[in-house]
Amino acid sequence: MQKFEEIKFNILELKGISKKNIEEHLKLYAGYVKSTNLIWEKIGELMADSEKNVYVIGEMQRRLGFEFNGMRNHEYFFKSLEGGVKSLPENSEFKKEIEKDLPFEKWLANFKMLAMTRGPGWAVLYWDKQTKQFVATWVDEHHMGQLNSLSWILGIDMWEHAFVYDYPTSEKKKYIEAFFENLNWEVIEENFKNAQ
């Protein structure tokens, strides 16, 4: 089995999100990568006597979904903050597609409201290739709520670790605003292009 590698992200200084918060958040991401590799390896070892280890393997498989999706979700998240703030391209296909349903600013306000959902989780915008439409949803935990076969376009980590060094939980709306002020929309445009 090939091991997963921790990605080193080029995140410049952010407005409203401290270097300390990003550093601590990146350590958490590194933990997801490490745990994913350890669980994969352990499952491989236990499979040598799968009948004897069936229950342990089952529980490790459950945990694998949490760790693996935690790793991938954070890779999407940090990638969207790389390289500094960038606006959507002039002829953004992403924006054109959004505006088939409602004005971009209205969509953005709705997505920010989704991010205010109580409790830890992720606000995620997916693209459904089958129906050719965006699907915005709340993902409670990494392994519960991810939508099968849809492509990730944009996501904001709303677990407290994403903002705790900068904002108390009662002020998470400020973190949401800071995230969008720092977003590299060119990455989101590329995600949409790749999802087509």
Taking the chain (196 residues) in runs of 10, the rounded mean pLDDT of each run is 93 97 98 97 93 94 94 98 95 97 97 96 97 96 83 97 96 98 98 96
Instruction: Residue 120: give its domain's CATH number.
Output: 3.55.40.20
Contact between 161 and 27 under an 8 Å Cβ cutoff? The reply is: no
> Do 120 and 65 share a domain, yes or no?
no
Residue 12 lies in a domain: no
Phi first, then psi, for residue 144 (nearest 5°) are -130, 115
pLDDT at 148: 87
> Do 49 and 134 share a domain, yes or no?
no
pLDDT at 132: 96
- Please name the residues in contact with 84: beta carbons below 8 A apart, sequence gap of 6 or more: 12, 184
* CA separation, residue 74 to residues 92, 105, 140 (Å): 25, 25, 14
Residue 38 lies in a domain: yes
> Do 67 and 160 share a domain, yes or no?
no
> Do 139 and 172 share a domain, yes or no?
yes
Contact between 86 and 184 under an 8 Å Cβ cutoff? The reply is: yes
Tokens of 169: 């939980």
Residue 13 lies in a domain: no
> Do 175 and 117 share a domain, yes or no?
yes
| pTM summary value | 0.94
* CA separation, residue 148 to residues 55, 64, 135, 140 (Å): 25, 16, 12, 15
Tokens of 137: 């949803």
Tally the domains of the chain: 2
> Do 69 and 98 share a domain, yes or no?
no
> Do 69 and 143 share a domain, yes or no?
no
Residue 44 lies in a domain: yes
pLDDT at 78: 98
> Do 189 and 121 share a domain, yes or no?
yes
Residue 128 lies in a domain: yes
> Do 36 and 72 share a domain, yes or no?
yes
Instruction: Residue 62: give its domain's CATH number.
Output: 1.10.287
Residue 30 lies in a domain: yes
Contact between 150 and 126 under an 8 Å Cβ cutoff? The reply is: yes
> Do 50 and 100 share a domain, yes or no?
no
Distance CA 29, CA 139 (A): 17
Range of the domain at 73: 19-79
> Do 175 and 146 share a domain, yes or no?
yes
**Residue whose C-alpha is closest to residue 127's, from 176, 74, 69, 193:** 193
> Do 53 and 123 share a domain, yes or no?
no
Residue 62 lies in a domain: yes
